Amino acid sequence: MTRIPTMLMGADGPEHLPGRRVVRSLACLQCGYDLNGAEAMGRCSECGMPVPFSLAGSIDPLVHSLSPIPNPRAVGRGLLAAACVLAMLPTAILMWGCWFVWYLSEGSGSGRRFSLPPVPVWLPDRLWWYLALVILALGGVALWCFKPQARGRVPVGTVRSVLLLAIGVLLSALAVAVIPVVSSGSKPWLLVASPLFPLPGLAIMLVGFRGVLLDVGKRSSTFRRAKVRRQRIPPLLAAIGLVAVAWVSLLLSLQMGESLRAISLAVGLLALIFVTIGCWYLLLNAWWIYAALQTPPERLRDLLTEAEPLPSD
């Protein structure tokens, strides 16, 4: 049988529970019942779960030991906006890469020399420009939320991280806007190379986002304690490098035959799928942190009545 603790470690040190009551709204960790007014050493009147377990699950002493963020809610929105850009961009690149697979599988590019395909009707030029505007808008929101405070300090990460994020957003938006211009041109190799254009911006954004994510992620117990559920960014950067190598091989295959072309497409698409899934998982990780910043944990001492003085000898 699990032993019920009589003392919990809060942000202000150990707190003794006997003789104290919950004085604020506190959801039971098991059934969600409001434990306001319950004895600190009691049990939930709905499911019988000991109140100390709900107290332990609702506090996060580490958060109160960190340097405070001047605007945590804004930082959470900025983190979510940056993660949305990171999720959308590889998704668009993957769709563009899948179109190449469809085009080549139809036999249109099966000759020894690659012929220029028509501009895809299902992905019109205007859609790419809209995507570039969305990247700029969301990236602008994120950068505004991460803007330096007094004395040039940024609320999260470092100035270098925020600067890399800004450079990545600008490069990605420019690369996406250029894709429809290239697709309507007369040079086949530029069209085939077009999925490579947003990759440098995506990689730079990931490097900058990593600095911000690791710093602000300390304020979310879900993010800190997650192991396999946390998306690591170095593997995504390695996968982006693999995509670049595969697409360069695809360019070489335009003159060297179909066997290298098939291998390059397969490796490139698999790596793109990995990057896309990983970036969407980064969005989930950012949501954990966003939720923690919107509702920061309370101090254990503030949840309970004052401790009774210990009897003197």
Angle, alpha carbons 130-236-161 (nearest 5°): 75
Residue 249: Cβ within 10 Å count? 17
Q: Mark 59-93 as b/e (b = at least 16 C-beta within 10 Å).
A: bbeebbeeeebeebebbbbbbbbbbbbbbbbbbbb
C-alpha span between 232 and 175 (Å, rounded): 25
C-alpha span between 188 and 194 (Å, rounded): 10
Structure tokens that stand for 147 in this block: 């803007």
pLDDT-derived band at 110, boundaries 50, 70, 90:
very low
Q: 92 with 73: CB under 8 angstroms?
A: no
- 134-189, pLDDT tens digit by residue? 999 999 999 998 887 655 567 777 788 989 999 999 999 999 998 887 766 566 67
β-partners of residue 94 are none
Please state at what angle helix 258-294 crosses helix 199-216, rounded to 10 degrees. 30
Q: Answer yes or no: is pLDDT of 121 > 60.
A: no
Q: Which of 277, 166, 199, 293 is nearest to 232 (CA)?
A: 277
pLDDT score recorded for residue 189: 72
- 187-242, pLDDT tens digit by residue? 667 777 888 899 999 999 999 999 999 888 888 888 988 888 899 999 999 999 99
Structure tokens that stand for 121 in this block: 């009707």
pLDDT score recorded for residue 228: 83
Q: What is the pTM of this model?
A: 0.81
Structure tokens that stand for 133 in this block: 């505007």
For the chain, which residues make up each domain, given as ranges?
7-59+298-303, 72-294
Report the run of H or E that residue 10 belongs to, with start and end.
strand 7-10
Q: Answer yes or no: is pLDDT of 289 > 90.
A: yes
Q: What is the dihedral of CA 116, 120, 125, 130, to 10 degrees?
A: -130
pLDDT score recorded for residue 185: 59
